[in-house]
Chain A
């Protein structure tokens, strides 16, 4: 198959881009696709922590672009799945180190190495790093929290995607957009404290690829350096599995979006 490039982006920070990139890329790899995940957040570097490979970082994305290292040296093989490779960001360089030609070369080299998917984990904001992350995208997963400022920023980044991506600039078929809603609390929606996923989708008018419930285990998994998708019997993990399935064209009904009042048994003995 030809390589597909997927950017995970949001505009706003702290909505769960890196968490989603890690779980989504892991999910693709678990399905047998050779996948690379690139951290574009040059200067901050989070992805390697969430993937649990921070101690194995020797060379990074910027080293490859500047020619100090080759891709084989910089790519870190994931410890959880066979087909997944991480290209970490540099913590010591600034974002301008990402030149468009440099990024393009790295992506083309990855294509030649036979990768099925390249997942680009975008930094927050609409600055250079974020633009570079979306420039070469074929598809985009726009991560949004059910909250107005996050929705507004996602809307902004969708506009940028449709004007600054290569596909837009070359007049090709537009980047395929997917909406991923994270940190969703069905309980708070029920109580009228949070926008529902339907409201969010109505505002952004982008096809929904999944809703990830707010969950303690996401934080625990991040701290442990294991993408949450690997956690057993966990709603957020199952929700990410559904995202990957829908991305690959399978039909999956939305889960974890309806609040069920805890029954007597659960209230007495805890959840």
Chain B
């Protein structure tokens, strides 16, 4: 007869939210800028709050506020990692599991940073791996995407519709209407008029691009560097094949360039 409950050790993939300032107002502003005020940006991923890079340790933390902030964007916080001693109790009270970076079980978080890089190893092996590369993986904003799959959208993306190609590129075969939004961790390839909002490199990939056969968007963004077109799009680009790409300027800053594409 089967037992009504069983306990098994396991690893689960989770998102890691690396928080450098434990200040909900600043975090809220920053997330708003980064994610463009999109509610439910994430899709309920389990999330570990990572405090290993905390710049200044506050006296107290508003965990409840932080949790609701993360949830607002569709994240499901489950644990906190490297919690300062005096915040541990309050974190537990807020319902978070408290993990420490060198003794804790970090298997979940390991699986996050490189979701497709390797088959999930046995817990013991993972613990070793975690030790040898402490927190380094989560520093990297652009995890290597090995077999990241490309999302293909065969219908026009209509006003009010939104798609998110997680972990890879998106190819849209029918165009993107005004008022529609396409987001990808990788690049956006649009065969047809691109009239809505396009956000590539949503996780910070500076090499992502936005390519279209007919350039007419409301907004383009690559790794958070965005441009709107309130005064219209330059005549040499409007409705023409073009791509948006980040290029490092002499000052070392990334600027968003929009360049025409020669298709024939």
The residues of A with any CB-CB pair to B shorter than 8 Å are 152-153, 155-156, 158-160, 162-163, 174, 203-205
Q: Are A205 and B155 in contact (CB under 8 A)?
A: no
Q: Are A156 and B159 in contact (CB under 8 A)?
A: yes
Chain A hits for B160, CB < 8 A: 155-156, 159-160
Q: How many A-B pairs fall under 8 Å by CB? A: 36
Q: Which of A155, A162, A203: most chain B CB closer than 10 A? A: A155
Q: Looking across the interface, which residue of chain B has its beta carbon closest to that of A174? A: B155
**28 examples of A-B residue contacts, CB within 8 angstroms:** A152-B159, A152-B179, A153-B159, A155-B158, A155-B159, A155-B160, A155-B178, A155-B179, A156-B159, A156-B160, A156-B179, A158-B156, A159-B157, A159-B158, A159-B159, A159-B160, A159-B177, A159-B180, A160-B160, A162-B155, A162-B158, A163-B161, A174-B155, A203-B178, A203-B195, A204-B177, A205-B156, A205-B192
- Per the 8 Å Cβ criterion, residues 130-160 of B in contact with A are 155-160
Q: Are A152 and B178 in contact (CB under 8 A)?
A: yes
Chain A hits for B108, CB < 8 A: none
CB distance from B190 to the nearest CB of A (A): 13
Chain A hits for B177, CB < 8 A: 155, 159, 203-204
Interface readout for B151-187 with A: 1 if CB under 8 Å, 0 if not?
A: 0000111111100000000000011011110000000
CB distance from A177 to the nearest CB of B (A): 10
The residues of B with any CB-CB pair to A shorter than 8 Å are 155-161, 174-175, 177-180, 192, 195
Q: Looking across the interface, which residue of chain B has its beta carbon closest to that of A153? A: B159
Chain B hits for A152, CB < 8 A: 159, 178-179
A263 and B93 CA atoms in complex are apart in Å by 85
Q: Looking across the interface, which residue of chain B has its beta carbon closest to that of A11? A: B159
Partner of A159, one of B161, B175, B192: B161
CB distance from B161 to the nearest CB of A (A): 5
Chain A hits for B175, CB < 8 A: 205
CB distance from B78 to the nearest CB of A (A): 31
Q: Are B158 and A156 in contact (CB under 8 A)?
A: yes
A244 and B227 CA atoms in complex are apart in Å by 46
Q: A-B pairs with the 4 shortest C-beta distances?
A: A159-B158, A155-B159, A156-B159, A159-B161
A116 and B30 CA atoms in complex are apart in Å by 58
Q: Are B174 and A205 in contact (CB under 8 A)?
A: yes
Partner of A158, one of B158, B178, B192, B195: B158
CB distance from B126 to the nearest CB of A (A): 39
Chain B hits for A160, CB < 8 A: 160
A156 and B179 CA atoms in complex are apart in Å by 8
Q: Which of B155, B160, B195: most chain A CB closer than 10 A? A: B160
CB distance from B158 to the nearest CB of A (A): 3
A79 and B175 CA atoms in complex are apart in Å by 45
CB distance from A37 to the nearest CB of B (A): 26
Chain A hits for B179, CB < 8 A: 152, 155-156
A68 and B202 CA atoms in complex are apart in Å by 55
CB distance from B199 to the nearest CB of A (A): 18
Chain A hits for B159, CB < 8 A: 152-153, 155-156, 159
Q: Looking across the interface, which residue of chain B has its beta carbon closest to that of A161? A: B158
Chain A hits for B180, CB < 8 A: 159
Chain A hits for B158, CB < 8 A: 155-156, 158-159, 162
Chain B hits for A153, CB < 8 A: 159
CB distance from B133 to the nearest CB of A (A): 43
A231 and B178 CA atoms in complex are apart in Å by 38
Q: Which of B155, B157, B195: most chain A CB closer than 10 A? A: B155
A37 and B175 CA atoms in complex are apart in Å by 34
Name 19 extra pairs, CB < 8 A, besides A159-B159, A163-B161.
A152-B159, A152-B178, A152-B179, A153-B159, A155-B158, A155-B159, A155-B177, A155-B179, A156-B160, A156-B179, A158-B156, A159-B158, A159-B180, A160-B160, A162-B155, A203-B177, A203-B178, A203-B195, A205-B192
